[in-house]
C-alpha cells in the first residue's frame, strides 16, 4: 500500500484555519524562520480519511476477533468509557487551571475522580495511597523503584541490589536498572515458581527489594508469596508487586494482604481501557502507609468542606514523574469501568478469567505440551510437542496458522524460560463459543503439524503480507521516508 | 564446529594467541544461537579490559548478546568490516568474522580458557 | 454481569468438563492470603454512570476563554481526526507484535516517524514516548549513553515542570545537573559556555522557550560539538510550521510535547512525547521503532525493528524500560498533520503568531501593562508585566470568564507581577478585544 506521502498532489489542500480576522503582521525576523515548508503531504480530507480507513482494515483489534495475547489482558473495552472521555467537561480541561489562585475550584469534577479512584484502588489492592501519575506499567515500575530508592536514602541505607525472578517481564529488570539498581535474577524452580532457596542465598543487607508478579508470567500463583515478602522485609528491603496480572485475582486476593509494600496497576489491562495499538496506558502506583510521604506530587486531598484540592507541599516526595496527574483520560475510563462493575462484577472478572484459562488449558493439554500441568490463573503456557519439533514446527508456525483461522496468536517465545512458549490469556469477556472455536483451531493446527507441517510453515496466506523479513529490516534500516 | 588450536570461554568466545596478541570472536555455537546478525557494536581501539568484561554486543533481529573479553588486555585493532557486514560472523566466525585484537597485559588471564577438546566436551553438556 | 458472556449453565458445563469447581479454581491461594476486605460500591447501569459522570464533567470550568498555554495548548482539532482514531481496529489493538495483523498500525507509525522527521528536519524518530517531559529525560539519558559522560547543562528557560521531572528522575543516578539562568528571555550563552567542558554530555534548551521567546541555537550546537557534547532541543511542533527547525540549527536529539497535534487537553493526558535524532545515534534511541522491509513475496511490509535494544530482549541492559508508549496519540498526530498538510500547518502556525502579535499590541496599549522582555521575538506566547500581582489579576479575570494566562511567580522568583499569555488560532479578534477590556477594567 502507498504511503501518505506517495499520494500527495502538489497544491491540493486539506483543512486550514480559514480566513484571518486579524492583520498579518510580519513580526518575525527571517533568520528565525524555516526556509521551506515541512514536507507534509498535500491531500484532501477525503484522501486522508480513505487512507486511514484502508489502514484500519489491515489491523486486528479486540473488536475484530479473539485476541488471547498472554500477559496483555486483551479484554473488551466498553464503549461507554470512550464516550465519557469525550465529554467536553473532561476533554477540554486545561491541566494548568488548578495552578491558578483558587484554581482547584475550576476542576472539582476531575479532582473528585482522581480522589475517588485513589480510594477505590486502595481497597482493590490493600494499599494506603496511590499516585495516578505513571503513564504506563513500565513507568509505574520506574516510579516504584524511585520510591524504593527514596525510602532507603531517607533511612541512610546503602542498598544497591534489586531481585527479580528469571520469569519476569523484561520491563522489571529494565526499570530497576534505569533507576540505578543492579539486578540479580532469581531462578525459577521445577514447579515454575521462584526458587526459595536461591532467593535466601541472594538475600543480604545490600538488597533494596524484590519485584514480582503474582500470579507470575507462567500463570501460576505462588503460595509462598508472604514468605518471600517476609524474607525481603527481614533485611529492610521492600516488596514490589507488578500488577500486570491482577486480572487473575481482582476481588479474590490483594497484594497488600500478601505483604507487598508497593504496587503498580496496568489500568489498560485489568480495568479495560483500550490498548491503542501500543498505548496510551496508565500505571498508577500504590504504597503502604510508611511510603506514602514519598509519593509523587501532586496528591488530591479532600478539604473539610467537601471540596478537593491539590497538595504540593510534600517534603519527602520523589517529585514529578508526569507533568500533571498522569493520563487522566485513561484513569477516567478505568474509573467508569469500576463504577459499572462494582464489587460483584470485579470478583466475577477474576473468576471467569481463570475459568476461561483453565478451560483452554485442559482442552489443549492433550495436543500441546503444557509448561506446567496444573491449575493456572488467568493464563496458561504451552510448548510445541516433541513430535512437532521433530517435524520442524515451531511456535511461530502455530501462531501464523492461527492468523489464517481468524485469531490473534498468543504471546510466543515468552516467558523465555519456556522453550517454544505460547502464552494464552483468554480474559473473562470471551464467550464459550469463541473459546471452543479457538480450541478447535488449535487442535486442527496440532494435527496439521503431523500431517502437513509445510502448510503451517506457509502460513499466513490470508493476510496482506506474510512473514516480513525482520532481519532485512534491521540491517537495511529504513525507518522514515524523508 | 570447534576449531583446533584456539582457546575458548564458557560464554562461547574464541581466542587465538600469537605471542602477546590475542585475536577474538564468537564461536559457531554462539552465532547459531543468535541467528542472522544485523549489528555488531565494536569496542574502541585503546580500550583496556580485564578478562570477562563486556567488549562488544552482537544483535540479531530478535536477540542480543554481550561478548566478553577472553583475556585481560588492550584493544589494538577491530574488524571494522563488521560495521557493514555483520553477517561475516554467521558465515565464517573463526576467520573473517573475527571481532577484535587485544594486546595481552596479564598473561595469567589466559589460564582460565579451555582448549578445543574441553570446549567440545562443555558443548556436549549443553 | 456486564461484559461477561457466560450463562450460569455454561459456567457449570465448563467447570464440569474440566473437573473443577469455582472455588477449586482459586484453591492455590492459601486461605490466609484471600482478600481481607473488598468494600466497593455495587455496580451501576450504563445510564447511571453516564448521568453521574456528566454531573462531574459539569463541575469543571471548560467554558473559560483560554489564553492559558504554558506548554499545553487549545488548538483547533478537525472532526476527521476523531473519526479516524475512533476506528476500533486501531484503538482496540495492542503493540504490533504480529506484523501480518498489524500493517495498519505499523504503516501509520512509520508515517508518523517520517512526519516527525520532516517537521523537525531530523533523520530518525521513534514510535513515541509518554509525554514531552519524559521524552526530555529519555533524551538526556540517551546523550549520556552516547557520550559516556554524565554532566548535563539545562537552561531555566526550559519548561519548569520538565526541569523538575528531570531532577526527580535522576535522584538515584550519578548525573551532574547544571542549571543556567536565562538572560532577557533567551538561554544564557555566557553561563552555558562557562559550564561546557569535555565532561559534558548535553546542553538542553527549548524553542520557543517557556516564555514564548524564539531563539536560534546554531551557536550552541557548534559549541557543544566542539567539546564532544550533544545539543538537545525541546520544541513546540505547531511552531515548526514556520520556525527554523532544530535540525537546521544542528541539534542532535529533538523532543517535545505532541499534544498540540490534534489531542484535546484532557486535564494532562494522554499526550504524546516525540523524539527525533541524527541517524548515527539510532541504536541508542529508546522506544519502539518501525521499519520498512519486504515480505516473502517481495511485497512492501512494515515491522517493529531494532528490538534488540528493548527491554523485552535486553532486560536490565535495555536503552529504556519503555514498553507501551502512546501509539494512539502518535496516530492522532499523524492524522492531524495529514489533514492540515504542508500549507495548512504553515497557515495555522502563522495564524497563531499573528493573533498573538495582535493581542500583544492590544494588551501593551493598556496603561501600566508592559512587555517583560524588551525587543524579543515571540511565537504565540509572551510575558507581560502588570502594575500589581499577576496571580491576583488572573483570579479576578476568571470571574469575567477568561483564563488570562499563567502567573510566572509560581516557578520564577522575582516575577510576581508577570504573566504568560498564549494565543492560539482559535481565539478570535473579538475575544482578544474583550480580554483587553477586561484586563483594563481590573487594573
At residue C323, the pLDDT reads 87
Nearest residue, CB atoms, C307 vs list B41, B61, B66: B61
CB neighbourhood size of B10 (10 A)? 13
CB C234 within 8 Å of CB C202:
no
- What domains are there in chain A, each with its CATH number? 1-12+36-50 (no CATH), 81-340 (3.40.640.10), 350-468 (3.90.1150.10)
Looking at chain A from residue 95 to 124, which residues have their Cβ under 8 Å from any Cβ of chain C?
Answer: 95-97, 99-102, 106-110, 112-113, 120, 123-124
| pLDDT of amino acid C324 | 84
Q: Looking at residue C263, what is its pLDDT?
A: 98
Q: Output A238 or B35, whichever has higher pLDDT.
A: A238
Instruction: For residue C87, give the nearest of A56, A88, A176 by CB distance.
Output: A56
Average pLDDT value for residue range B72-97: 95
Residues forming CATH 3.40.640.10 domain(s) in chain C: 79-335
Question: d(Cα A282, Cα A285) in Å, to the nearest integer?
Answer: 10
What are the pLDDT digits (tens) for A45-90? 999 999 999 999 999 999 999 999 999 999 999 999 999 999 999 9
> Which chain A residue lies closest to B59 (C-alpha atoms)?
A474
Interchain CB contact of A17 with C (< 8 Å): yes
pLDDT digits (tens, 9 = 90+) for A324-381: 999 999 999 999 999 999 999 999 999 999 999 999 999 999 999 999 999 999 999 9
Residue B28 pLDDT greater than 70, yes or no: yes
Nearest to B23 by CA among B85, B108, B96: B96
3 state DSSP class of C230: strand
Question: CA nearest B14: which of B60, B55, B48, B61?
Answer: B55
Task: For residue B27, give its domain range.
Answer: 7-120
Strands B72-78 and B48-49: antiparallel
Over residues B53-72, mean pLDDT: 91
Q: Do C3 and A32 touch (CB under 8 A)?
A: no
Mutate to test the interface with B, among A395, A472, A474 (most CBs of B within 10 A): A474
**A346-360, B57-71, C71-85, C220-234: which range is least confident on average?**
B57-71
Residue B107 belongs to a domain: yes
Which CATH architecture does the domain made up of C79-335 adopt?
3-Layer(aba) Sandwich (3.40)
Over 70: is that where the pLDDT of C33 sits? yes
Stretch A458-474: mean pLDDT: 96
Q: No. of H helices and E strands in chain A?
A: 17, 13
In this prediction, residue C376 has a pLDDT band, given cuts at 50, 70 and 90, of confident
Cβ-defined contact of C283 to B63 (cutoff 8 Å): no
Contacts of residue B59 in chain A, CB cutoff 8 Å? 474
Give the ipTM.
Answer: 0.98
**Using one digit for the tens of pLDDT, what is the confidence trace for C6-27?**
999 999 999 999 999 999 999 9
Q: Smallest CA–CA separation between B8 and chain A, in Å? A: 26
**pLDDT value at C375 more than 80:** no
As a whole number of angstroms, the distance between CA A52 and CA A57 comes to: 9
**What residues of chain B, 71 to 90, have a C-beta less than 8 Å from chain A?**
86
Q: Does the pLDDT value for residue C162 go beyond 70?
A: yes
- Does residue C1 surpass a pLDDT of 80? no
Give start-end residues of each CATH 3.90.1150.10 domain in chain C.
Answer: 65-75+343-442
Q: Reply yes or no on whether the pLDDT at A29 is more than 90.
A: no
Position B126 in a domain? no
Prior bond of A298 cis (ω within 30°):
yes
For the stretch A137-168, pLDDT in tens is 999 999 999 999 999 999 999 999 999 999 99
Instruction: Say yes or no to pLDDT of C207 above 80.
Output: yes
- C131 forms beta bridges with none
Cα(A170)–Cα(A137) distance, integer angstroms? 12
What part of A 405-424 touches B (C-beta under 8 Å)? 413
pLDDT tens for A203-218 read 999 999 999 999 999 9
How would CATH label the architecture of C65-75+343-442?
Alpha-Beta Complex (3.90)
Residues composing chain A: 482
Q: C-alpha distances in angstroms, A271 versus A265, A335, A364, C327?
A: 9, 8, 28, 19
Find the residue in C nearest to B59 (Cα): C308
Burial zone of C135 (CB within 10 Å; 0-12 exposed, 13-18 middle, 19+ buried): buried
Residue B28, domain CATH: 2.40.50.100
Angle at B39 between CA B36 and CA B42, to 5 degrees: 130
- Taking CA–CA distances from B63, the nearest residue in chain A reads A471
The C residues from 297 to 316 touching B (CB cutoff 8 Å) are 305, 307-309, 313-314
Residues of C in contact with A100 (CB under 8 A): 391, 394-395, 398, 403, 406-407
Task: Please compute the mean of the pLDDT values over residues C142-167 and round it to a whole number.
Answer: 97
> What average pLDDT does chain A have?
96
Pairwise CB contact (< 8 Å): A474 & B86 = no
Confidence of residue C308 (pLDDT cuts 50, 70, 90): confident
Residue B1 lies in a domain: no
Question: Over 70: is that where the pLDDT of A26 sits?
Answer: no
Residue A257: name the closest of C110, C29, C169, B46 by CA. Answer: C29
Number of domains forming the structure of chain B: 1
For A334-356, letters b (16+ CB in 10 Å) and e give: bbbbbbbbbbebbbbbbbbbbbb
Amino acid at each position: 500500500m502507498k504511503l501518505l506521502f506517495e499520494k500527495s498532489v502538489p497544491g491540493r489542500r486539506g483543512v486550514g484555519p480559514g480566513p484571518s480576522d486579524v492583520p498579518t503582521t510580519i513580526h518575525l525576523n527571517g533568520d528565525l524562520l524555516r526556509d521551506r515548508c515541512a514536507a507534509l503531504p498535500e491531500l484532501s480530507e477525503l484522501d486522508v480519511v480513505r487512507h486511514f480507513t484502508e489502514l484500519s482494515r489491515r489491523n486486528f483489534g479486540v473488536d475484530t476477533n479473539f485476541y488471547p495475547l498472554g500477559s496483555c489482558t486483551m479484554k473488551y473495552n466498553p464503549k461507554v468509557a470512550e464516550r465519557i472521555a469525550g465529554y467536553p467537561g473532561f476533554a477540554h480541561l486545561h491541566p494548568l487551571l488548578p495552578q491558578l489562585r483558587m484554581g482547584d475550584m475550576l476542576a472539582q469534577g476531575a479532582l473528585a475522580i482522581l480522589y475517588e479512584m485513589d480510594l477505590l484502588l486502595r481497597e482493590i489492592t490493600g494499599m494506603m495511597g496511590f499516585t495516578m501519575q505513571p503513564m504506563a506499567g513500565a513507568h509505574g515500575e520506574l516510579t516504584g523503584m524511585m520510591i524504593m530508592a527514596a525510602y532507603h536514602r531517607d533511612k541512610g541505607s546503602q542498598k544497591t541490589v534489586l531481585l527479580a525472578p528469571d520469569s519476569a517481564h523484561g520491563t522489571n529488570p529494565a526499570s530497576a536498572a534505569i533507576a540505578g539498581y543492579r539486578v540479580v535474577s532469581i531462578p525459577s524452580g521445577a514447579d515454575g515458581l521462584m526458587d526459595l532457596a536461591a532467593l535466601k542465598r541472594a538475600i543480604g543487607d545490600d538488597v533494596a527489594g524484590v519485584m514480582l508478579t503474582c500470579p507470575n508470567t507462567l500463570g501460576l500463583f505462588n503460595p509462598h508469596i508472604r514468605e518471600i515478602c517476609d524474607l525481603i522485609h527481614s533485611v529492610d528491603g521492600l516488596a514490589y508487586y507488578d500488577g500486570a496480572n491482577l486480572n487473575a485475582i481482582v476481588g479474590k486476593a490483594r497484594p497488600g494482604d500478601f505483604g507487598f509494600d508497593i504496587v503498580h496497576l496496568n489500568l489498560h489491562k485489568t480495568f479495560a481501557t483500550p490498548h491503542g495499538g501500543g498505548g496510551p496506558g496508565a500505571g498508577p502506583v500504590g504504597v503502604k502507609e510508611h511510603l506514602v510521604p514519598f509519593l509523587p506530587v501532586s496528591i488530591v486531598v479532600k478539604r473539610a468542606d467537601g471540596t478537593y484540592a491539590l497538595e504540593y507541599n510534600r517534603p519527602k516526595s520523589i517529585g514529578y514523574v508526569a507533568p500533571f496527574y498522569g493520563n487522566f483520560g485513561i484513569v477516567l475510563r478505568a474509573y467508569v469501568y469500576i463504577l459499572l462493575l462494582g464489587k460483584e462484577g470485579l470478583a466475577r472478572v477474576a473468576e471467569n478469567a481463570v475459568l476461561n484459562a483453565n478451560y483452554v488449558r485442559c482442552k489443549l493439554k492433550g495436543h500441546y505440551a503444557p509448561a506446567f500441568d496444573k491449575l493456572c490463573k488467568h493464563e496458561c503456557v504451552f510448548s510445541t510437542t516433541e513430535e512437532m519439533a521433530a517435524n520442524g514446527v515451531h511456535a511461530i508456525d502455530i501462531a501464523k496458522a492461527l492468523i489464517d483461522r481468524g485469531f490473534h496468536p498468543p504471546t510466543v517465545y515468552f516467558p523465555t524460560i519456556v522453550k517454544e512458549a505460547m502464552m494464552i490469556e483468554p480474559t473473562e469477556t470471551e464467550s464459550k463459543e469463541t473459546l471452543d472455536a479457538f480450541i478447535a483451531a488449535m487442535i486442527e493446527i496440532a494435527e496439521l503439524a503431523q500431517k502437513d507441517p509445510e502448510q503451517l510453515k506457509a502460513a499466513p496466506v490470508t493476510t496482506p503480507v506474510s512473514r516480513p523479513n525482520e532481519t532485512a529490516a534491521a540491517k537495511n534500516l529504513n525507518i522514515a521516508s524523508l | 564446529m570447534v576449531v583446533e588450536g584456539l582457546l575458548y570461554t564458557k560464554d562461547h568466545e574464541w581466542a587465538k594467541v600469537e605471542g602477546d596478541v590475542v585475536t577474538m570472536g564468537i564461536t559457531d555455537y554462539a552465532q547459531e544461537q543468535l541467528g542472522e546478525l544485523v549489528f555488531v557494536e565494536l569496542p574502541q581501539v585503546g580500550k583496556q579490559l580485564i578478562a570477562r568484561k563486556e567488549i562488544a554486543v552482537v544483535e540479531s533481529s530478535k536477540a542480543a548478546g554481550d561478548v566478553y573479553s577472553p583475556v585481560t588486555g588492550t584493544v589494538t585493532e577491530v574488524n571494522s568490516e563488521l560495521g557493514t557486514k555483520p553477517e561475516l560472523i554467521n558465515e565464517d566466525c573463526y576467520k573473517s568474522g573475527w571481532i577484535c585484537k587485544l594486546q595481552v597485559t596479564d598473561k595469567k588471564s589466559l589460564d582460565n580458557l579451555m582448549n578445543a577438546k574441553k570446549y567440545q566436551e562443555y558443548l556436549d553438556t549443553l | 454481569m456486564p461484559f461477561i458472556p457466560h450463562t450460569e449453565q455454561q459456567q457449570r458445563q465448563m467447570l464440569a468438563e474440566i473437573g473443577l469447581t469455582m472455588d477449586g479454581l482459586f484453591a492455590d491461594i492459601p486461605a490466609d492470603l484471600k482478600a481481607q476486605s473488598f468494600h466497593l460500591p455495587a455496580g451501576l447501569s450504563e445510564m447511571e454512570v453516564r448521568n453521574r459522570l456528566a454531573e462531574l464533567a459539569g463541575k469543571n470550568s471548560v467554558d473559560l476563554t483560554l489564553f492559558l498555554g504554558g506548554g499545553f495548548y487549545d488548538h483547533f482539532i478537525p472532526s476527521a481526526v476523531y473519526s479516524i482514531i475512533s476506528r476500533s481496529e486501531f484503538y482496540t489493538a495492542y503493540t504490533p507484535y504480529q506484523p501480518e495483523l498489524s500493517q495498519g498500525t505499523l504503516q501509520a507509525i512509520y508515517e508518523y516517524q517520517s512526519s516527525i522527521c520532516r517537521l523537525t528536519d531530523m533523520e530518525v524518530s521513534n514510535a513515541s514516548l509518554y509525554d514531552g517531559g519524559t521524552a526530555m529525560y529519555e533524551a538526556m539519558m540517551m546523550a549520556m549513553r552516547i557520550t559516556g559522560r554524565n554532566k548535563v547543562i539545562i537552561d531555566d528557560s526550559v519548561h519548569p515542570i520538565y526541569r523538575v521531572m528531570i531532577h526527580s528522575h535522576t535522584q538515584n543516578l550519578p548525573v551532574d545537573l547544571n542549571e543556567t539562568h536565562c538572560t532577557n528571555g533567551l538561554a544564557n550563552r555566557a553561563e552555558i559556555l562557562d559550564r561546557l567542558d569535555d565532561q559534558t554530555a548535553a546542553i538542553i534548551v527549548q524553542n520557543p522557550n517557556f516564555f514564548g521567546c524564539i531563539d536560534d541555537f546554531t551557536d550552541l550546537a557548534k559549541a557543544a560539538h566542539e567539546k564532544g557534547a550533544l545539543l538537545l532541543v525541546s520544541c513546540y511542533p505547531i511552531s515548526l510550521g514556520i520556525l527554523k527547525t532544530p535540525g537546521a540549527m544542528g541539534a542532535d536529539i529533538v523532543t517535545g510535547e505532541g499534544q498540540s497535534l490534534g489531542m484535546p487537553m484532557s486535564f494532562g493526558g494522554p499526550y504524546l512525547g516525540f523524539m527525533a535524532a541524527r541517524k548515527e545515534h539510532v541504536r541508542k534511541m529508546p522506544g519502539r521503532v518501525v521499519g520498512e522491509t519486504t515480505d516473502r513475496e517481495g511485497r512492501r511490509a512494515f515491522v517493529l525493528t531494532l528490538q534488540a535494544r528493548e527491554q523485552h530482549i535486553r532486560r536490565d541492559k535495555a536503552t529504556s524500560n519503555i514498553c507501551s508508549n502512546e501509539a494512539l496519540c502518535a496516530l492522532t498526530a499523524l492524522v492531524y498533520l495529514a489533514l492540515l498538510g504542508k500549507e495548512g500547518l504553515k497557515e495555522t502556525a502563522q495564524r497563531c503568531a499573528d493573533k498573538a502579535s495582535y493581542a500583544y499590541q492590544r494588551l501593551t496599549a493598556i496603561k501600566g501593562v508592559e512587555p517583560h522582555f524588551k525587543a524579543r521575538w515571540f511565537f504565540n506566547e509572551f510575558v507581560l508585566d502588570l502594575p500589581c500581582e499577576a496571580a491576583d489579576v488572573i483570579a479576578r479575570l476568571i470571574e469575567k470568564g477568561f483564563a488570562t494566562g499563567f502567573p510566572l511567580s509560581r516557578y520564577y522568583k522575582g516575577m510576581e507581577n508577570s504573566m504568560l499569555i498564549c494565543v492560539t488560532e482559535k481565539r478570535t479578534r473579538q475575544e482578544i478585544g474583550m480580554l483587553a477590556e477586561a484586563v483594563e477594567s481590573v487594573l
